[in-house]
A and B are shown apart, each in its own frame.
Chain A
């Protein structure tokens, strides 16, 4: 059913676009906007859009309930667990181990979360979703800075940033629990 709504939306849009593209020297805005093909196309696309949007929340709520390892809230939980582990071990880490661990968090969790984030955001209130992503991005940027610091030879300063990043991801979990 979701695919059908998308087909209806895009078919309507293509009809409207083709109709709007028609050019003659005397063509006016009214001629285009009130042409039957343009109106039919717009009605089809708006109808398809409403249908499409109404199905998204249901489908994605079901996906979130599946609790797969690619589920965005499972990924945020995994990031905080990994960062707890990183903070606990960081004093004993050599620079290379530290950089590798940071890169692993990036590869295995952060990139995957960013790919899957729409699943989560579409089920949240827009403002809460924005707050979540701003907190998440702050944590991610602190990890990026930690990596740059260590790679540039300022390893000690890099270590100081991990707890800040962890705090930010924990705040994401608090927003999710709301």
Chain B
């Protein structure tokens, strides 16, 4: 047997340093972009491309799995910003509007964010085997990042060419869409093509989201994502016309308003219930896998790889991290004014349990469809916490920060672990770096939000409605909090949905509850675009074979995802600097 001449680089100082620097830059950029435009963008693809250029191009010695470590760190730090931007600015806006009194002590929010960053990793590590090795969830963005990293090291550049073609098509298409040149009022607006043409009622939302990234996620999922598509069909082409036919919709509404009513009052809350019930039952059904995973975490000998060292994060680190995070959870809540010791203890128990379930739901949804139902999880979090904390909004948002950071971490970690699996990386090394560095993202994002707030007149009001940074996501949470204050919680839909989700997850088709719940929770235009991708993949697999789809379709679809992501970032930067 040949001798090894030099070690294969994986966890190196260069990868960690580059990952942290990229993570901080992406975090700052995307916090600003989210406050300005109302959407966030994953940074894994950018980090992988930059990692390739710097580690391999500049240092001349980077490897695929070293780049995997770099993008794991960068996306981990960056993703934290999404959770912060979704929650904390709502409190600033409510304070400015005189809805609450907030003293701007950000220490509890930093502590809660760090607790969330730790717990997101702690919760997701034991689920790696279940989601990646047993359920084989697709994680489309993880596959796209793998294709980027692999295309740089293989001698055969045919996949790199397909990646580049997909990238170019998607980038040009995205530019056409955001430029508005193709817009036709009533037919093609806001990147949606309405194919009703007066024949299909508008309450059935006959529209498709013209995002090639969305179609590409379906191309990567194939048959596995089909139940998501069927969930959308049931919601919009079965429930919706039946509701109208049976006279369940208030009179005097036009067809578009009917669609809005059906979505807001019926499908979305029911979908959240189905998602939660489906994920809970899914966890129960996967208990043997989770048990095996925990056993293998505890048993180092059986999981050590040849020459790769320890394979999984030590069990004691998870336990210690979990305990520390729960203590931080308690401290952050107890520091908020008006919170009693008993309430803080209750939150420190219920909060992490709900956080674990929410992280599981978001990781599963992302794994199957690449779509994260973060807003739904934030809604439930604030609902539960306002109940436990006697409608103390600021304290409920503290927990919301922790949960949103954690669920973002969980989904991101799982995407990166999928990339690691496909490249042959060591999960332990990815897990340990994410565990120890992502807290940086909490400090950076909260600092950025505070500085931007102080950028307004008289040192406050730097974002929110009527400013250059309208913070649309925080606006959604403000709306939710106001609705909760009036006691308007659709518990009937959550409970019935939960029961339906549980029965769906008992079916022998993996993930049915989560997929159908997610389809009901999302607008139909997204589900339809994704479903078209699934059907194309199935057709190509049937006519051209599995090898064709793996070697031709996967790199092309990865290119479509990356092309739209990069163009989206470029467009966001252009919007910010141009206005």
In the assembled complex, how far is the CB of residue B214 from the closest CB belonging to chain A, in whole angstroms?
24
Q: Which residues of A contact B153 (CB under 8 A)?
A: 148, 151-152
Closest B residue to A136 by beta carbon equals B133
Asked whether any CB of chain B lies closer than 8 Å to the CB of A130, the reply is yes
Binary CB contact string for chain A from 49 to 72 against chain B (1 if under 8 A, 0 otherwise): 100110010000000000000000
B288 with A130: CB separation less than 8 A: yes
Q: Which residues of A contact B65 (CB under 8 A)?
A: 145, 148
Asked whether any CB of chain B lies closer than 8 Å to the CB of A156, the reply is yes
Asked whether any CB of chain A lies closer than 8 Å to the CB of B424, the reply is yes
Q: Which residues of B contact A147 (CB under 8 A)?
A: 424
Asked whether any CB of chain A lies closer than 8 Å to the CB of B550, the reply is yes
In the assembled complex, how far is the CB of residue B298 from the closest CB belonging to chain A, in whole angstroms?
14
Point out the residue from B136, B293, B306 that lies within 8 Å of A161, measured CB to CB.
B306
B133 with A145: CB separation less than 8 A: no
A142 with B424: CB separation less than 8 A: yes
Q: How many positions in chain A have a CB within 8 Å of any CB in the partner chain?
A: 66
In the assembled complex, how far is the CB of residue A48 from the closest CB belonging to chain B, in whole angstroms?
9
Point out the residue from B154, B248, B546 that lies within 8 Å of A22, measured CB to CB.
B248
B507 with A9: CB separation less than 8 A: yes
B155 with A96: CB separation less than 8 A: yes
B292 with A134: CB separation less than 8 A: yes
B150 with A151: CB separation less than 8 A: yes
Q: Which residues of B contact A142 (CB under 8 A)?
A: 305-306, 424
Q: Which residues of B contact A84 (CB under 8 A)?
A: none
Asked whether any CB of chain A lies closer than 8 Å to the CB of B36, the reply is no
B307 with A160: CB separation less than 8 A: yes
In the assembled complex, how far is the CB of residue A31 from the closest CB belonging to chain B, in whole angstroms?
7
Q: Which residues of B contact A146 (CB under 8 A)?
A: 424
Point out the residue from A96, A107, A133, A164 that lies within 8 Å of B305, measured CB to CB.
A164
Asked whether any CB of chain B lies closer than 8 Å to the CB of A29, the reply is yes
Binary CB contact string for chain A from 24 to 60 against chain B (1 if under 8 A, 0 otherwise): 1001110111000010001001100100110010000
Asked whether any CB of chain A lies closer than 8 Å to the CB of B320, the reply is no
In the assembled complex, how far is the CB of residue A3 from the closest CB belonging to chain B, in whole angstroms?
14
Binary CB contact string for chain A from 155 to 177 against chain B (1 if under 8 A, 0 otherwise): 11101110110000000000000
Q: How many positions in chain B have a CB within 8 Å of any CB in the partner chain?
A: 65
- Considering only residues 238-285 of chain B, those with a C-beta below 8 Å from chain A are 238-239, 242-243, 248, 262, 265-267, 270
A152 and B64 contact, Cβ closer than 8 Å, known pairs A13-B504, A16-B500, A17-B234? yes
B129 with A157: CB separation less than 8 A: no
Asked whether any CB of chain A lies closer than 8 Å to the CB of B27, the reply is no
Q: Which residues of A contact B7 (CB under 8 A)?
A: 157
A91 with B132: CB separation less than 8 A: no
A14 and B234 contact, Cβ closer than 8 Å, known pairs A20-B493, A148-B153, A148-B423? yes
A112 with B546: CB separation less than 8 A: yes
Q: Which residues of A contact B150 (CB under 8 A)?
A: 148, 151
In the assembled complex, how far is the CB of residue B272 from the closest CB belonging to chain A, in whole angstroms?
12
B424 with A148: CB separation less than 8 A: yes
B2 with A127: CB separation less than 8 A: no
In the assembled complex, how far is the CB of residue B255 from the closest CB belonging to chain A, in whole angstroms?
18
A160 with B503: CB separation less than 8 A: no
- Considering only residues 53-101 of chain B, those with a C-beta below 8 Å from chain A are 63-65
A21 with B243: CB separation less than 8 A: yes
Closest A residue to B132 by beta carbon equals A137
Q: Which residues of A contact B578 (CB under 8 A)?
A: none
Whole-angstrom CA separation of A33 from B63 in the bound complex: 57
A154 with B292: CB separation less than 8 A: no
A144 and B243 contact, Cβ closer than 8 Å, known pairs A22-B248, A127-B288, A137-B133? no
B134 with A133: CB separation less than 8 A: yes
B239 with A29: CB separation less than 8 A: no
B496 with A20: CB separation less than 8 A: yes
Asked whether any CB of chain B lies closer than 8 Å to the CB of A131, the reply is yes
B550 with A29: CB separation less than 8 A: no
A107 and B306 contact, Cβ closer than 8 Å, known pairs A56-B508, A130-B288? no
Asked whether any CB of chain A lies closer than 8 Å to the CB of B344, the reply is no
A23 and B292 contact, Cβ closer than 8 Å, known pairs A33-B496, A111-B550, A152-B63? no
A17 with B292: CB separation less than 8 A: no
A130 with B155: CB separation less than 8 A: no
Whole-angstrom CA separation of A14 from B200 in the bound complex: 22
B423 with A29: CB separation less than 8 A: no
Point out the residue from B6, B311, B422, B500 that lies within 8 Å of A17, measured CB to CB.
B500
Q: Which residues of A contact B575 (CB under 8 A)?
A: none
Asked whether any CB of chain A lies closer than 8 Å to the CB of B301, the reply is no
Q: Which residues of B contact A20 (CB under 8 A)?
A: 270, 493, 496-497, 500
Point out the residue from A21, A127, A157 that lies within 8 Å of B4, measured CB to CB.
A157
In the assembled complex, how far is the CB of residue B237 from the closest CB belonging to chain A, in whole angstroms?
11
A27 with B8: CB separation less than 8 A: no
Binary CB contact string for chain A from 108 to 138 against chain B (1 if under 8 A, 0 otherwise): 0001101101100010001101110110111
- Considering only residues 523-558 of chain B, those with a C-beta below 8 Å from chain A are 546-547, 550-551
Asked whether any CB of chain A lies closer than 8 Å to the CB of B187, the reply is no
Whole-angstrom CA separation of A23 from B488 in the bound complex: 13
Whole-angstrom CA separation of A163 from B265 in the bound complex: 58
Asked whether any CB of chain B lies closer than 8 Å to the CB of A81, the reply is no
Whole-angstrom CA separation of A161 from B424 in the bound complex: 11
A23 with B2: CB separation less than 8 A: no
A144 with B508: CB separation less than 8 A: no
A134 with B4: CB separation less than 8 A: no
B508 with A53: CB separation less than 8 A: yes
Closest A residue to B424 by beta carbon equals A145
Q: Which residues of B contact A133 (CB under 8 A)?
A: 133-134, 289
A21 and B288 contact, Cβ closer than 8 Å, known pairs A111-B546, A146-B424? no
Sort A-B residue pairs by CB-CB distance and give the 10 closest, nearest first: A145-B424, A137-B133, A144-B424, A20-B496, A126-B288, A164-B306, A130-B292, A156-B2, A151-B153, A29-B492
Query: Residues of B with Cβ closer than 8 Å to A?
Result: 1-8, 63-65, 129, 132-134, 136, 150, 153-155, 234, 238-239, 242-243, 248, 262, 265-267, 270, 288-289, 291-293, 296, 303, 305-308, 311, 421-425, 491-493, 495-497, 499-500, 503-504, 506-508, 546-547, 550-551
* Interchain residue pairs with CB less than 8 A apart (20): A17-B239, A20-B496, A21-B239, A29-B495, A29-B496, A32-B493, A38-B496, A53-B508, A122-B508, A130-B129, A131-B292, A133-B133, A134-B133, A138-B305, A141-B424, A144-B424, A145-B423, A152-B63, A157-B8, A163-B306
Given pairs A16-B496, A52-B508, A152-B63, 20 additional interface contacts (CB within 8 A) = A23-B248, A23-B265, A53-B508, A91-B2, A96-B155, A111-B547, A129-B134, A130-B129, A130-B292, A134-B129, A134-B133, A134-B293, A134-B296, A142-B305, A148-B64, A151-B155, A152-B8, A154-B6, A157-B307, A160-B306
